[in-house]
Amino acid sequence: MAIAISQLVKRKRQGHPLVMLTAWDYPFAQLLDRAGVDLILVGDSLAMVALGHPTTLPVTLDQMIYHTQAVCRGVKEALVVCDLPFMSYQEGPIQALRSAGRVLKETQAGAVKLEGGYPEMIEVVHRLSLSGIPVVGHVGVTPQSVHRQGYRRQGKAQAEGERILQEAIALAEAGAFTVILENITHDLAKKITETLSIPTIGIGAGPHCDGQVLVTSDVLGLSSWQPPFAKVYTNLQESITNAVKTFSQEVRDRQFP
């Protein structure tokens, strides 16, 4: 059964972890959905893992919508969340409304995600929520800020940890229904998870979150590089390379067809 947004808080209270993975196209979305993941994120990481860009910054709203449409064609059960890409919401609430509105009108996604918990972004989240648009927040390492922040773990310094905690609280108060915690110290993720009534979903944030998300190409061994906190569950690069080499050999040897 599809998980309703209203059920997520219940899942947190019951202590049943939420499972989220990323997708960028129809076949992978269909596989993830049939395997029973709760949430599918059309992450702007697709800029890197599906489009070959060096960061998430270049992907456009039109491209995110295009990929989200393909993902949604493969999904029957999971809740699909679409990342709002860099510069499609940072101008303020009106730009964010237009962008998120397009996502909900032009795709079957049920929610959008955006990065940051600074006061201007809290205003954006509040405005989207008031307009009926479900929002997932994202704090800690926020890859759209790579030029300012890099990818280093956040929350080691006490002041930084306190700021991230306050950002997560403010996001929840502004109406976010879930918050992604990316690459923060495990103690900080635990504290945020215990403080918020909405679920936290961690990536590189340790075992105390209410759910876990990873980038699917990392999980499947399709990435040429993955962050140290990712776990590689199968080596698709190797399987695919072997299949292609075998096909090539059989064609060259006139064994196939």
Per CB under 6 A, does 43 bind ligand KIV?
yes
Taking CB under 6 A as the criterion, the residue among 213, 219, 220, 222 binding ligand KIV is: 213
d(CA 29, CA 194): 31
The partner in contact with residue 215, picked from Na ion, ligand KIV, none with C-beta cut-offs of 5 to 8 angstroms by kind, is: ligand KIV
Any bridge partners for residue 41, and if so which?
22, 81
Per CB under 5 A, does 218 bind Na ion?
no
CA-wise closest residue to 100 among 81, 76, 73, 122: 81
d(CA 54, CA 117): 25
**CA dihedral sign of residues 209, 89, 33, 55:** negative
Please list every residue from 44 through 63 that binds ligand KIV, using CB under 6 A.
Answer: 44-45
> Least Å distance between CB 153 and ligand KIV?
14
DSSP string, 241-252: HHHHHHHHHHHH
The set of catalytic residues is 182
Taking CB under 5 A as the criterion, the residue among 33, 44, 210, 218 binding Na ion is: 44
Give the position of tokens 């403010």: 170
Per CB under 6 A, does 216 bind ligand KIV?
no
Please list every residue from 121 through 160 that binds ligand KIV, using CB under 6 A.
Answer: none
| Residue 187: Cβ within 10 Å count | 13
Chain residue at closest Cβ approach to ligand KIV: 43
Q: Footprint of ligand KIV on this chain (CB under 6 A)?
A: 22, 41, 43-45, 83, 180, 203, 213, 215
